[in-house]
Structure 1
Amino acid sequence: MSRPRILCISFSDITADSRVLRQLGVLQEFGEVTTLAYGPRPENSDHHLELPSSLPSLPQTPSGVVKLLLRRYRSVATEAPAIRAALKAIDGQSFDIVVANEARALPLAFRVEGSPRIWCDLHEWAPEERTHVLSWRLLVAPFMRWICAEYLPRADAATTVNRSIAEMYGQAFGVLPDVVRNAIPYRSDLIPTALEPQRVRLVHSGGAVPGRNIEALIDGVELLGDGCTLDLYLIGSRQGDTYWRELSARIEASERTTLHPPVAPDLLPDTLNAYDLGVFLLPPHTPNHRYMLPNKFFDFVQARLGLVFGPSVETDRLIRDEGLGVITDGYSAEDFASAIRALTPERITAFKRASDSAAVRLSSEEDIEVERRILRRLGGGAAA
């Protein structure tokens, strides 16, 4: 008996997308996996259809923008250049299960041949993903809300990153997704490293995109003086733009900040383990920021670091419940520096030990079981 054919759609470079990489590991247990995404073939993909990275996944063409303005959403739903290319790539192929990563992939998923069962991994809150950007708020946000209202109730399964965002989908669209966190596998081989005398080693990893407030980390470590260093493991934006050049110049001007090349997701905990505190200050520009529970939170825990995070509903709860670190008063360089100045070596050591104690609870094991239950329900083959 042939294995079910599974199509995994992601408008990202999956090789740098930790969440989708973990998802593929589970999909591989249940069927023959074809990935449709930007970038090269990722691990656990049997077949890969690569989309040109220059093609946007939203209808940003002149005709597409006009249709967004006129609210002609049904006619523009599959007009994004990347979606047009994707339709050509899968023409003549049929699948049993389609995994649509993020709401923007849903119109494409419902055009796939073979009457597949559809699982939408919504990741975060799609209707207000980038509403701090005026053009996005005016044109794209209503379109995303329409996509969710039109397609989400027809999907066979849905997941998102935490309970707060799941409840938002339930209230807005009558669909309560299952929760699959951004947790990573448990690393039993890592233990907290000892502090160095007279120096606290701060580290941040993730995307170098506007709005992430990396500037406050750089400025904050300068305020802290010689007792702290900051190491950054950053992934540049796909566009590779002015912001990256400006940020690089700011890092170069900092005496206490070092920029490193990005590290593969599965190697990141090993690299981070050499540090003391994982740091992140994300202002709540959007609901996704306010309710964030990002990859880096779980990376820091598995690396056995203490955490210094800006206020956010989901991370606040876990940091306090598990004793993982401190929450800053705000999102400025001064707030950041003030929070770290108040820490003693004993408290930092206690935070690192708390991460060690919580590492099993905050690993991906329970999330993988959620995905396996979904795939069994959708008709995936028996897990190997």
Structure 2
Amino acid sequence: MTRPRILCISFSDISSDSRVLRQLDVLQEMGDVTTLSYGPKPDGVEGHLQIPMDLPSLPQTPVGVMNLALRRFRAVEFQAPAVKAALDLVQGHSFDIVVANEARALPLAYRVEGAPRIWCDLHEWAPEERTHVLSWRLLVAPFMDWLCARYLPRADATTTVNTSIARMYEERYGIEPEIVRNARPFVAALAPTPLAPGAIRLVHSGGAVPGRNIESIIDAVDLLGDGYTLDLFLIPSRQADAYWKQITARIANSPRTTLHDAVAPDDLPVALNPYDLGVYLLPPHTPNHRLMLPNKFFDFVQARLGFVFGPSTETDRLIIENGLGVVTAGYSATDLAEAIRALSREEIAGFKAATDAVAEEMSSDVDLEVERNILRRLQQPA
């Protein structure tokens, strides 16, 4: 059988997008892949169409904002500078399958030549992705809802990160997404590291994005005092330079916090393995926050860390059922400090042992097979 020509669209820099990188492994296994994204060409793909990094993927021009405000959504579909550029880049290329990462990529997917089959990977609940931001809630959220209603029922396959969010897509748009978690491959070579005699070592990794509550994690380690350290592996946001300056200044003023350069997604488990507790404290500003099951959960599992997370439906269940750690009472620095201070060294060692016990079960093997089955179906005649 001839290998299908696959286009993978992502309005992200794929080199730092763990979910899309794992997706690419399966796409390359099953076909000849071209990527369309920000950032450099990912390893192993046949071709790459690069969107300039300075072009936003939402219609932020005056005309685009006006059309959003007036609900002229058909006019807005291709007004975002990055989408315009992507449409130009894809002209003259023909594909058999298009993978649209996130709802905002769907209009472009349906303009690709070759009458391709469409798989939309919905990383989150698209209609309320950033509704904690007033301008997004008023202008962009209705557009995202319109995109989902217009395009999702036409897609040949849809996936999302967990059953709670899949149920929301089914109830609103009448689709039944398959589940592809943010799990990563099993790292057999790692084991829990023993606790160091001097301090409990806390660690957090991820994007330095406003609203992620990194400030409270820094404040918590300072409240804890001697005997605790915090290491941060942060990725600066493309569009939040002011926040990056603010957060790095706060780190510089914390005697117990160390900032490290961002680590490539594949290298994260090894980089995190020397630590004891992975911490995450995301307030439920949106349904995606309330129902999160993020990359870092699975990063911490493969790194064999104990967990201290803020309350969230999906992560609460996994942490408690498997004895991986504790859930804080709330989302403040005080809540986090109190939860950590209450833990004995023996309990923390037990959490690390528990993550070791479930590391293979919580790896991406199941998720990758879901993706392979989707691609097998999409290669069959419609």
* One-letter amino acid of the structure 2 residue matched with residue 25 of structure 1: D
Q: Which residue of 1 aligns with 2:75?
A: 75
Determine if the alignment matches structure 1 residue 335 to structure 2 residue 315.
Answer: no
The alignment partner of 1:226 has SS state of coil
Determine if the alignment matches structure 1 residue 265 to structure 2 residue 265.
Answer: yes
Determine if the alignment matches structure 1 residue 141 to structure 2 residue 141.
Answer: yes
CA distance in 1, matches of 2:263, 2:129: 26
Query: Structure 1 stretch 193-202 or stretch 9-18: which is displaced more?
Result: 193-202
The residue correspondences of 1:94-243 to structure 2 (distance < 5 A) are 94-243=94-243
Q: Which residue of 1 aligns with 2:352?
A: 352
CA shift at 1:2, angstroms? 3.7
* One-letter amino acid of the structure 2 residue matched with residue 192 of structure 1: P
CA distance in 2, matches of 1:225, 1:63: 52
CA distance in 2, matches of 1:49, 1:93: 10
Query: Structure 1 stretch 237-246 or stretch 328-337: which is displaced more?
Result: 237-246
The question of whether the paired residues in 1 share the 8 Å contact of 2:156 and 2:378 is answered with yes
The residue correspondences of 1:27-66 to structure 2 (distance < 5 A) are 27-66=27-66
The alignment partner of 1:78 has SS state of coil
CA shift at 1:43, angstroms? 2.0
- What per-residue deviation string (whole Å, max 9, x for no partner) do you get for residues 188-230 of structure 1? 1000000011410000000000000000000000000011000
The alignment partner of 2:225 has SS state of helix
CA distance in 1, matches of 2:293, 2:195: 27
* One-letter amino acid of the structure 2 residue matched with residue 379 of structure 1: Q
The alignment partner of 1:54 has SS state of coil
CA shift at 1:45, angstroms? 1.5
Superposed structure 1 runs of 4+ greater than 2 Å apart: none
Determine if the alignment matches structure 1 residue 256 to structure 2 residue 256.
Answer: yes
Unaligned runs of 5+ in 2: none
Q: TM-score, normalised by structure 1?
A: 0.98
CA distance in 1, matches of 2:4, 2:179: 24
Determine if the alignment matches structure 1 residue 279 to structure 2 residue 292.
Answer: no
Q: Which residue of 2 aligns with 1:297?
A: 297
CA shift at 1:76, angstroms? 1.3
CA shift at 1:79, angstroms? 1.4
The question of whether the paired residues in 1 share the 8 Å contact of 2:209 and 2:240 is answered with no
CA distance in 1, matches of 2:93, 2:263: 35
The question of whether the paired residues in 2 share the 8 Å contact of 1:192 and 1:356 is answered with yes
CA shift at 1:59, angstroms? 1.1
- What per-residue deviation string (whole Å, max 9, x for no partner) do you get for residues 155-180 of structure 1? 00000000000000000100110000
CA shift at 1:235, angstroms? 0.1
CA distance in 2, matches of 1:215, 1:69: 33
CA shift at 1:240, angstroms? 4.7
The residue correspondences of 1:370-381 to structure 2 (distance < 5 A) are 370-379=370-379
The alignment partner of 2:7 has SS state of strand
* One-letter amino acid of the structure 2 residue matched with residue 102 of structure 1: E
Aligned positions, number:
381
Q: What's the C-alpha RMSD, in Å, of the aligned pairs?
A: 1.0
CA distance in 1, matches of 2:188, 2:2: 36
* One-letter amino acid of the structure 2 residue matched with residue 268 of structure 1: L
The question of whether the paired residues in 2 share the 8 Å contact of 1:7 and 1:95 is answered with yes
The alignment partner of 2:149 has SS state of helix
The question of whether the paired residues in 2 share the 8 Å contact of 1:30 and 1:380 is answered with no
- What per-residue deviation string (whole Å, max 9, x for no partner) do you get for residues 222-273 of structure 1? 0000110000000000125111001000000000000000000001100100
The question of whether the paired residues in 2 share the 8 Å contact of 1:99 and 1:120 is answered with yes
CA shift at 1:380, angstroms? 7.5
- What per-residue deviation string (whole Å, max 9, x for no partner) do you get for residues 55-102 of structure 1? 111111111111111111112111111111011111111100000000
Identity of aligned residues (%): 70
CA distance in 2, matches of 1:359, 1:61: 46
CA distance in 2, matches of 1:224, 1:123: 35
CA distance in 2, matches of 1:260, 1:57: 29
CA distance in 2, matches of 1:333, 1:61: 38
The question of whether the paired residues in 2 share the 8 Å contact of 1:103 and 1:147 is answered with yes
Cα distance change on mapping 1:380 and 1:205 into 2, 3 Å = farther
CA distance in 1, matches of 2:76, 2:303: 44
CA shift at 1:30, angstroms? 1.1
Q: Which residue of 1 aligns with 2:92?
A: 92
Q: Which residue of 2 aligns with 1:364?
A: 364
Unaligned runs of 5+ in 1: none
The question of whether the paired residues in 2 share the 8 Å contact of 1:180 and 1:371 is answered with yes
CA distance in 1, matches of 2:355, 2:166: 26
* One-letter amino acid of the structure 2 residue matched with residue 356 of structure 1: D
Query: Structure 1 stretch 161-170 or stretch 58-67: which is displaced more?
Result: 58-67
